[in-house]
Amino acid sequence: MGNAARPDLTFWKYHGLGNDFVLVERAASEAAHLRERGIVEKLCDRRHGVGADGVLLFDRDVDSAHARMVLLNKDGSRPEMCGNGVRCIVRHLVEEHDVSEPVVDIATDAGIRSCRWKADGETADRWQVSVMMGPADVSAEPVEVDGGDFGDFTFWRVNMGNPHAVAFEGASTETVDAIGRMLNDDPRFPEGVNVEFVEVSVEEPSDPRLDVVVFERGVGRTLACGTGACGAAAAWWYNHGGIRDGRGVTVGLPGGDLEIEVVDGELRMTGPVRSVFKGQLASDALSD
């Protein structure tokens, strides 16, 4: 007898400021299976698959929240948290599962994130989602890095549920890639690290602006990173009067802007999310 035909895989494509994801409705428990079979890499392949920075697993079988998110980076690694991914999960929950509450809770590997969404216009093309990203933990001692031909850098460690290293220096794309890879092989960051290079373009205390380029562990340079934007803001505030309620900053990323604020001791991130398309990937595209 021949093997039963494998069904095609239904997926949705979303992005937050160009940080793009393939979303599949699969239980969080299937993450290891998808990694072991190489399905994540195949879905994220921009020539032979759908193309994305990562795969979002969307699961409603959870008691403590409206939905659960698991992110698998394009290399198969599993980060604890992703701000842009959470915003995509919220839009999917509302549009595909008819959830109407203005505030929804999303369970992540870094804990539950409370989100507020707003869709402007009848077509819901203009979506904004605010995510309570939790408190920022900034280490008191910076990390000095000898970048060889790329120069020396001072990085501030920030934990946003996942690890970050923030340098207040601009850098070329070549330098970002080289130092990003270097730090992800550095024993001082045994779990890897997201690396942010920050240029302060506006230093007005009431309306500062930080321009950030991010090298994400497991992905490389991305157009946007929500936790990276929060990490950059937290490191800036830590060195300029402290992380306290009422502070806010605009963080510019290659894909667009995010607004970061401090509310009740937590960082709140606000930004857009776009729905790109829904499709089916032929089963033979996922075969070995």
**At 83, phi and psi to the nearest 5?**
-65, -45
Question: How does strand 137-138 pair with strand 126-132?
Answer: unpaired
* pLDDT confidence band for 124 (50 / 70 / 90): low
Q: Compute the average pLDDT of residues 25-52.
A: 91
In 3D space, the residue among 56, 105, 64, 114 whose CA is nearest the CA of residue 267 turns out to be 114
For 60-72, write each residue's pLDDT tens digit.
999 999 999 999 9
pTM: predicted TM-score of the whole model, two decimal places: 0.93
Q: For residue range 230-269, list pLDDT tens digits in order.
A: 999 999 999 999 999 999 999 999 999 999 999 999 999 9
Half-sphere exposure of 32 (CA within 13 A, CB side): 1
Q: Which helix (H) or strand (E) holds 177?
A: helix 173-184
DSSP symbol at 169: S
Whole-angstrom distance, CA of residue 19 vs CA of residue 53:
7
The residue type of 8 is D
- Domains annotated for the chain, with CATH where assigned, are 9-133+273-286 (3.10.310.10), 137-264 (3.10.310.10)
Q: Given a cut of 80, is residue 5 above it in pLDDT?
A: no
Query: Per residue in 84-111, pLDDT tens?
Result: 999 999 999 999 999 999 999 999 999 9
Active-site amino acid positions: 82, 225
* Angle between helix 83-97 and helix 226-238 axes, rounded to 10 deg: 140
Can you tell me the distance from the alpha carbon of 174 to that of 257, in angstroms, rounded to the nearest whole number? 23
Both tokens of residue 200? 């302060």
Give CA–CA dist 146/4, Å, rounded: 56
DSSP summary character for residue 7: P
